[in-house]
């Protein structure tokens, strides 16, 4: 039995993550033809097709997607194994400020993995006054919501947001399905903080006959999402807030129309703190974990 080459596995993983041979080639510092050649060699090794032609580009086959998920997990394990010695040496206090939406719908479900990897770290999580606040001098690293405009900080985007309607499958089955956005006028809309998200989405969908201010206005996203999962109405969700619920079947998307928010979640740190080993360890960990979550969400978003 021949083992696949590491270069071929990394090529497949990069194509699966980025959805593009060109982007994968840039990431690995290879040519497009080299990426294609590596995947062809991998297909010979495993004995089945990993990719298929889609228009002028390529996509993964069903078997290719399943194999790529396994490969991604193995590569992460190899990365973790190589870091075990260094991880033992990372210690000290780390205070992370996290926007409430990110904390509720993602970080609080994964944070235990960080402490298992870095048991010597004294971790404190705090909530900012506003999601874009980066002014707490006791904080080492911010997970902030906004457009990335913190000029005095070192900033890196970790989640770009896209929003779209979501609802409970129980509700959509009771409605007999929604054939067009115009039909939303007959059902309760759930709003988070204000009416702007529904206004923007309804305009983009051409649903001028739907009252964007009808339904229920909630003071925070958690209440609106909980009501939505309970079948109380149709809400505007996004790939972070609704990602896990969609992948678990608690929510579905009644329409395919989505809108880029031009806002997202960012890592932001004071330049004097950004080089600390514990800060870099947390940043690298969260980016790796988010990539794994995207692999889980991709079939539903």
pLDDT at 177: 78
- DSSP H/E element including 197: helix 196-205
CA 54/CA 186 separation, integer angstroms: 39
In a domain, 297, yes or no: no
Residue 299, pLDDT > 60, answer no
In a domain, 1, yes or no: no
Verify that 147 and 166 share a domain, yes or no. Answer: no
- DSSP H/E element including 282: helix 277-297
Residue 298, pLDDT > 90, answer no
Verify that 274 and 145 share a domain, yes or no. Answer: yes
Verify that 96 and 149 share a domain, yes or no. Answer: yes
Residue 127: pLDDT band (50, 70, 90) is very high
**CATH, residue 81:** 1.10.10.10
Residue 39, pLDDT > 70, answer yes
Dig out the tokens for 272 from the structure. Answer: 């004097």
Verify that 178 and 249 share a domain, yes or no. Answer: yes
**Structural domain containing residue 133:** 91-158+263-291
- DSSP H/E element including 124: strand 121-126
**Nearest partner of 187 among 208, 207, 211, judged by Cα:** 211
Side-by-side strand order, sheet with 92-98: 121-126, 92-98, 141-146, 259-269, 154-166, 234-238, 189-192, 216-218
State whether residue 194 is helix, strand or coil.
Answer: coil
pLDDT at 82: 56
Identify the domain boundary among 22, 57, 85: 85
Domains of the chain: total: 3
CA 45/CA 147 separation, integer angstroms: 45
- For the stretch 221-240, pLDDT in tens is 888 999 999 999 999 999 88
State whether residue 205 is helix, strand or coil.
Answer: helix
Verify that 74 and 115 share a domain, yes or no. Answer: no
CA 237/CA 272 separation, integer angstroms: 36
Average pLDDT, the chain: 87
pTM > 0.85: no
């Amino acid at each position: 039995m021949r083992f696949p080459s590491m270069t071929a596995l990394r090529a497949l993983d990069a194509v699966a993550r980025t959805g593009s041979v060109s982007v994968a080639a840039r990431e690995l510092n290879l040519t497009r033809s080299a990426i294609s050649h590596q995947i062809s060699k991998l297909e010979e090794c495993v004995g089945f097709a990993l990719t298929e032609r889609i228009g002028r580009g390529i996509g993964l086959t069903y078997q290719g997607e399943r194999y790529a998920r396994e490969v991604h997990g193995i590569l992460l394990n190899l990365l973790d194994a190589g870091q075990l010695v260094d991880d033992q040496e990372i210690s000290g206090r780390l205070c992370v400020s996290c926007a409430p939406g990110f904390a509720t719908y993602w970080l609080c479900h994964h944070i235990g993995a960080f402490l298992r990897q870095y048991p010597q770290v004294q971790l404190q999580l705090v909530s900012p006054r506003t999601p874009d606040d980066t002014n707490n001098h006791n904080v080492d690293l911010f997970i902030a919501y906004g457009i990335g405009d913190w000029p005095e900080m070192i900033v890196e985007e970790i989640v770009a947001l896209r929003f779209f309607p979501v609802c409970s499958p129980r509700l959509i089955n009771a409605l007999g399905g929604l054939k067009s956005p115009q039909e939303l006028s007959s059902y309760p809309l759930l709003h988070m903080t204000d009416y702007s998200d529904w206004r923007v989405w309804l305009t983009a969908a051409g649903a001028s006959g739907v009252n964007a201010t009808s339904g229920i206005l909630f003071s925070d996203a958690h209440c609106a999402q909980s009501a939505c999962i309970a079948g109380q109405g149709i809400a505007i969700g996004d790939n972070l807030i609704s990602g896990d619920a969609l992948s678990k079947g608690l929510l579905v998307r009644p329409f395919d129309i989505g809108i880029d928010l031009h806002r997202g979640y960012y890592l932001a740190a004071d330049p004097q703190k950004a080089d600390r080993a514990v800060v870099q360890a947390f940043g690298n960990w969260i980016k790796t974990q988010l990539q794994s979550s995207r692999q889980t969400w991709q079939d539903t978003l």
